[in-house]
């Protein structure tokens, strides 16, 4: 979605922006990858005085159901779990016998992640 100076918006405008964005991320989109008026998104954002901005279900959601997916802007790995995921694709790693980058030692799930997705810039910074 386009970058928007959201801090300059009113709370109502922020909610409209979030809800417009949520409608494009849902797990059961129509042909145009957005929800129509007949098939609303499973969640929407609202503002409450006690909780602030929050997502609210528009229908019953089944346990384990994906309500929306989105590509992260910046992936980050919490410190305690730093060795449990591949630094390149963020897949879970086995407890033993995973690959490490030959340049910086970063945990990786495969040689392909080291060759194709682990950036030289990132490797250089991590090797310091």
pLDDT tens per residue across span 55-106:
888 888 888 877 777 666 666 665 555 567 888 888 888 877 888 888 888 8
Q: Which residues contact 6 (CB under 8 A, 6 or more apart)?
A: 14, 17
> pTM score, two decimals?
0.38
Domain positions in the chain are 6-57, 79-126
Residue given tokens 């799930």 in the structure block: 109
Q: Where are the beta strands (DSSP E) in the chain?
A: 43-48, 52-57, 99-100, 107-108
């Amino acid at each position: 979605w386009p970058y928007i100076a959201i801090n300059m918006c009113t709370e109502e405008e922020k909610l409209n922006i979030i809800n417009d964005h949520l409608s494009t991320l849902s797990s059961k989109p129509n042909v145009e990858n957005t929800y129509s008026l007949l098939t609303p998104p499973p969640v929407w954002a609202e503002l409450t005085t006690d909780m602030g901005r929050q997502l609210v279900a528009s229908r019953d959601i089944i346990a384990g159901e994906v309500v929306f997916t989105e590509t992260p802007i910046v992936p980050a790995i919490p410190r305690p779990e730093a060795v449990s995921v591949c630094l390149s694709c963020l897949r879970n790693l086995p407890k033993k016998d995973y690959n490490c980058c030959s340049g910086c030692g970063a945990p990786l799930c495969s040689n392909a992640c080291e060759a194709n997705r682990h950036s030289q810039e990132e490797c250089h910074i991590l090797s310091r």
